[in-house]
Structure 1
């Protein structure tokens, strides 16, 4: 875990050469897709996806990972990501980061929420090249009911996922470590859950190298 709270603790490790090479290249936005049938062919490709409640900070985290502040469009308006948004490193057509539509936006019309949820389900069931879904949880609030519902869906679809706590810098000292331990205990018996919870802060850069390393290991 990163030294997010400012006290004694392990510092971010030096990134390996594979991690450095993957994220040193410029990344580009491919396009947004509202149907799974429009996605690139699965053969010869690897996808890593990001899911989370609306306004959890998915776009900010993708920008922090790639070191490109304007790559993924950020907004203060919850529910703005309505498609599967794909990003790839330049000169590499086989690796994709996928920003999934945010879920749990209560003010969105039910018809729109149903469309988003159907897109998410179709994507999870139809992408054998999907190596892992990083499920982002707002560190200020922890796991909520709609998060648990998404974890249930991932377990049922047998899609590997890993919980990532975001906005860790917003918690009081010691708070993020306690939340990480509590979250890990809550997901411990889930069949598709990765047995490690990552903690990040897009604003401060904490935990970004660990997340990059996790992604590079899945792609390599």
Structure 2
């Protein structure tokens, strides 16, 4: 794979701050601490372009990263959901921001929803997936932290995710490890397919 060019562009809280160059966008959604930043960093071969936080729930904006890998597009990294230590009012604010982005943003071509493969999808995970299907958003479900599960147990865990989310026909489920890079090529293929539509 050729070298991936990537740069952080802006942390946005509303549409007036979103990039205005009409490039396709791939959004990332997932619970706090599920590994969104680690996934971005592994895909682009950079240690810390996307900052990982030891404090879940810290990202309160949509972070846009311009990516160039044969095609040009943005990753739109959304605030993690399902973290209890932030106030209800802040959670509601994030929810509105994310909902508005996903519902209104024409440039958003698909959403990567990250699920920790070690655990069954949470209520928040299910709600997010149902919401994406309600708005007919193409979704790539990425089961993260694959390196934490023995190879013998992986299919069982993936089956639970597939069943609990009731993954729609046409949506991929990809096993991924930011530690080892497993699933990286498959994910790149899925991203490019969605971003060029």
- TM score, norm. by length of structure 1: 0.82
1:209 aligns with 2:153: no
Q: Deviations over 1:37-81 (max 9, x none)?
A: 3212363x1001110000000000000001111110001110111
Q: Which residue of 2 aligns with 1:198?
A: 174
SS at match of 1:89: strand
Closer/same/farther in 2, CA of residues 218 and 175 from structure 1, 3 Å limit: same
Alpha-carbon separation, structure 2, partners of 1:29 and 1:216: 19
Retained in 2: the 8 A contact 1:42–1:128? no
Alpha-carbon separation, structure 1, partners of 2:34 and 2:76: 15
Q: Which moved more, 1:146-155 or 1:97-106?
A: 146-155
SS at match of 2:151: coil
Retained in 2: the 8 A contact 1:199–1:207? yes
1:33 aligns with 2:12: yes
Max Rg structure: 1
Q: When you count strand as a share of all residues, which structure comes out higher?
A: 2
Closer/same/farther in 2, CA of residues 183 and 194 from structure 1, 3 Å limit: farther
Alignment of 1:109-120 (within 5 A): 109-120=87-98
1:71 maps to which of 49, 58, 68: 49
Q: How many residues align structurally?
A: 196
